[in-house]
Amino acid sequence: MIVNMAANATEEQIQHVVDRIKECGFLPHLIQGAERTVIGVVGKNRGRRAEVEALRVAPGVDEILIISQPYTLVSLELQPQRTVVDVKGVKIGGPDLVVMAGPCSVESREQLMETARGVKAAGAHLLRGGAYKPRTSPYDFQGLGVEGLKILAEARKETGLPIVTEVMGVEDLDAVVEYADLMQVGARNMQNYPLLRRLATVPRPVLLKRGPSSTIKEWLLAAEYLLSGGNPNVILCERGIKTFDSELRNTLDLAGVALAKELCHLPVVVDPSHATGRRSLVPAAARAAVAIGADGIIVEVQPVSGESAVGWTAISRLAWLRRDDEWTSTGDRNGRCCAVRQRGCFKSRFSHER
Length reported for the chain: 354
Crossing angle for the helix pair 146-159 and 109-122, nearest 10 degrees?
30
Enclosing H/E stretch for 126: strand 126-128
Sign of the four-CA dihedral 28, 32, 35, 40 = negative
CB of 26 to ligand PEP, least distance (A): 34
- Burial environment of residue 203 by CB neighbours within 10 A (0 to 12, 13 to 18, 19 or more): exposed
CB of 182 to Mn ion, least distance (A): 16
**Window 225 to 244, contacts with Mn ion (CB under 5 A):** none
Contact by Cβ (8 Å): 89, 291: no
The CA distances from residue 28 to 22, 201, 294, in Å, are 7, 18, 30
φ and ψ at residue 323, rounded to 5 degrees: -85, 75
CB of 210 to ligand PEP, least distance (A): 8
3-state secondary structure of 243: coil
Measured from each CB, the residue nearest to Mn ion is 104
Q: Is 199 in the site for Mn ion (CB under 5 A)?
A: no
Q: Which residue number, 77 or 107, has a Cβ lying nearer to Mn ion? A: 107
- Burial environment of residue 174 by CB neighbours within 10 A (0 to 12, 13 to 18, 19 or more): exposed
Q: Which residue number, 104 or 190, has a Cβ lying nearer to Mn ion? A: 104
Q: Which does 347 bind (CB under 5 to 8 A by kind): ligand PEP, Mn ion, none?
A: none
- Residue 211 is classified by DSSP as P
Q: Which residue number, 39 or 252, has a Cβ lying nearer to Mn ion? A: 252
Q: Which residue number, 327 or 350, has a Cβ lying nearer to ligand PEP? A: 350
Q: Which residue number, 1 or 195, has a Cβ lying nearer to ligand PEP? A: 195
Q: Is 292 in the site for Mn ion (CB under 5 A)?
A: no
Q: Which does 102 bind (CB under 5 to 8 A by kind): Mn ion, ligand PEP, none?
A: none
Q: Which residues of 323-343 are buried (b: 16+ CB within 10 A; e: fewer)?
A: eeeebeeeeeeeebbebbeee
Q: Which residue number, 277 or 283, has a Cβ lying nearer to Mn ion? A: 277
Q: Which does 25 bind (CB under 5 to 8 A by kind): ligand PEP, Mn ion, none?
A: none
Measured from each CB, the residue nearest to ligand PEP is 186
Q: Which does 198 bind (CB under 5 to 8 A by kind): Mn ion, ligand PEP, none?
A: none
CB of 105 to Mn ion, least distance (A): 7
CB of 130 to ligand PEP, least distance (A): 5
CB of 134 to ligand PEP, least distance (A): 5
| Side-chain-facing half-sphere of 145: CA atoms under 13 Å | 4
Q: Which does 40 bind (CB under 5 to 8 A by kind): Mn ion, ligand PEP, none?
A: none
Q: Is 263 in the site for Mn ion (CB under 5 A)?
A: no
Site residues (vs ligand PEP, CB under 6 A): 104, 130, 134, 186-188, 209, 239, 271, 274
Contact by Cβ (8 Å): 267, 206: no
Q: Which residue number, 17 or 155, has a Cβ lying nearer to ligand PEP? A: 155
Q: Which residues of 66-105 are buried (b: 16+ CB within 10 A; e: fewer)?
A: eeeeebbbbbebbbeeebebebeebebbbebbbbbbbbbb
CB of 104 to Mn ion, least distance (A): 3
CB of 296 to Mn ion, least distance (A): 17
Q: Which residue number, 24 or 207, has a Cβ lying nearer to ligand PEP? A: 207
Q: Which residue number, 104 or 294, has a Cβ lying nearer to Mn ion? A: 104
Among 104, 119, 180, 319, binds Mn ion (CB under 5 A): 104
DSSP H stretches of helix in the chain? 11-23, 49-53, 109-122, 146-159, 173-179, 193-199, 216-228, 254-263, 272-276, 282-292, 309-319, 325-330, 333-342
Residues making contact with Mn ion (CB under 5 A) = 104
